[in-house]
């Protein structure tokens, strides 16, 4: 069963598409949507029009998405560190 939300992976996350598909997501990439090299504003407008959730590590498209009330995930170093910390604790410290 697929999730109802659709993900749009920004250019730096194209390589994660297969993983998200295996996890059940309907996912596309900026490249596949013909938006490679497009402005952040154009990508956000497209995502809003097509009902995508943007996944990015760039602050500007995340902020533009926020202004448009568009669902998005800003992948930050803090978020990655927190996820890695959680995984280490779960696997090795909390047994």
Decide if 39 contacts 16 (C-beta within 8 A): no
Question: Which helix (H) or strand (E) covers residue 8, if one does?
Answer: strand 6-9
SS3 16: helix
What pTM, to 2 d.p., does this model score?
0.87
On the question of pLDDT at 50 being above 80, the answer is yes
List, in order of start, the domains of the chain with CATH numbers. 6-93 (3.40.50)
| Digit-coded pLDDT (tens) for 18-44 | 999 999 999 999 999 999 999 999 999
Which segments of the chain does DSSP mark as H helices, in order?
17-22, 40-49, 59-67, 77-88
């Amino acid at each position: 069963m697929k999730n109802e939300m659709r993900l749009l992976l920004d250019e730096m996350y194209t390589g994660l598409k297969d993983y998200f598909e295996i996890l059940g997501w309907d996912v596309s990439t900026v490249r596949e949507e013909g938006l490679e090299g497009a402005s952040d504003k154009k990508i956000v407008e497209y995502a809003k029009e097509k009902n995508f959730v943007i996944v990015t590590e760039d602050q500007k498209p995340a902020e533009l998405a926020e202004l448009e009330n568009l669902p998005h995930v800003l992948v930050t170093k803090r978020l990655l560190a927190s996820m890695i910390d959680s995984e280490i604790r779960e696997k090795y410290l909390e047994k």
